[in-house]
Amino acid sequence: MTDFSIKRDGLSLHARLEKPSKNSDTLAIVMHGFTADLGYDESRLVPRIASALLQNDFAVLRFDFNGHGKSDGELQNMTVLNEISDAKAVLDFARTLNYAKIVLIGHSQGGVVASMLAGYYRDLISKLVLLAPAATLKTDAQLGTLQGTTYDPKNIPDVLNIRGELTVGGFYLRTAQSLPIYEVAHQFNGPVCLIHGISDKVVDYHASVRYHNGYFDSELHLLNDTDHSFTGDVAKPAIQILLEFLEK
């Protein structure tokens, strides 16, 4: 395991590269969700995915988006657009490692970023896995709601406090209203695996249905009794689906 920094427009993004015991021809870039991180709590979804990938001989590259974890920046200045820039910088680094295949895996907002990056770099990405991709962040912004906090979508505040302790910038909300999420994502023609819990209370599973309907080559897995974060044992079938998809 190697921790290091990747530069993006003057910011240092904290990253972690892990290699399996056997030589691998595939590198998986794993992207975390809104207000999460690359996985310092081993019980969370992203580190559990990373561990399973390593055990199955995939190399893993994960990182903290700007304003998250150990990366530079403030959450207040984070947008989906600059998270795409973060992911692009990570992909640029990944390409220097000379793996034959690069796959993208994203959870929640990280799924939105992964899907759009794959659309932009459809010639470089081999496969794409989206777990509860939060494409509803666009319609939420149009309605004026963010994780239980409401605001006037036609008079967006400069900052919005959520959960009593986190501050999101108004530019995040403004740009979210017009993101071409599906339009860009559906430019990717490679194999896609979508995994979503029917019981997800944060992102409606119909977001994954819409992704699935627009892809050329995708499989959709809707799981019962599965929450947005794939907490506890419910992560096991999701990770198994992910592994079987990547090993095809």
Rounded to a whole number of angstroms, the distance between the first and last alpha carbons of the chain is: 26
Q: Which two tokens stand for residue 78?
A: 């984070």
CB burial of residue 168 (10 Å; 0-12, 13-18, 19+): buried
Query: According to the model, what pLDDT value does residue 223 have?
Result: 97
Q: What is the pLDDT, as a whole number, of residue 157? A: 97
Token output for 70: 């150990």
* Domain enclosing residue 101, as ranges: 2-135+180-246
pLDDT at position 1 over 90 = no
Rg (CA), the chain: 17
Q: Helix (H, G, I), strand (E, B), or coil: what is residue 96? A: coil
Residue 193 CA: distances (Å) to CA of 36, 70, 221: 22, 29, 8
CATH code of the domain in which 240 resides: 3.40.50.1820
In a domain, 158, yes or no: no
| Under 8 Å between Cβ of 35 and 72 | no
pLDDT in tens, 146-184: 989 999 999 999 999 998 789 999 999 999 999 999 999
**Residue 100 lies inside a defined structural domain of this protein:** yes
Tell me which amino acid residue 51 is.
Answer: S
Amino acid at 137: L
User: How do residues 193-247 score in pLDDT, each as one tens digit?
Assistant: 999 999 999 999 999 999 999 999 999 999 999 999 999 999 999 999 999 999 9
Question: Does some domain include residue 165?
Answer: no
Please give the pLDDT value at position 164.
79
**131 assigned to some structural domain:** yes
Residue 42 has pLDDT above 90, yes or no: yes
**CA atoms within 13 Å, Cβ hemisphere of 167:** 8
Q: What is the pLDDT of residue 118?
A: 98
CA distances from residue 126 to 105, 176, 215, 231, 244 in whole angstroms, order as listed: 11, 27, 14, 28, 15
Q: Which of 99, 23, 33, 34 is nearest to 61 (CA)?
A: 99
194 in a structural domain: yes
Average pLDDT in the chain: 97
Q: Tell me, rounded to whole angstroms, the distance of Cα 47 from its chain centroid.
A: 13
How does strand 166-169 pair with strand 159-162?
antiparallel
Q: For the chain, how many structural domains are there in total?
A: 1
Q: Which helix (H) or strand (E) holds 139?
A: helix 136-143
Residue 14 located in a structural domain: yes
Return the SS3 of 49: helix
| Residue 121 domain flag | yes
Pairing of strands 218-223, 192-197: parallel
Answer yes or no: is 175 within a domain: no
Percent of the chain beyond pLDDT 70? Answer: 100
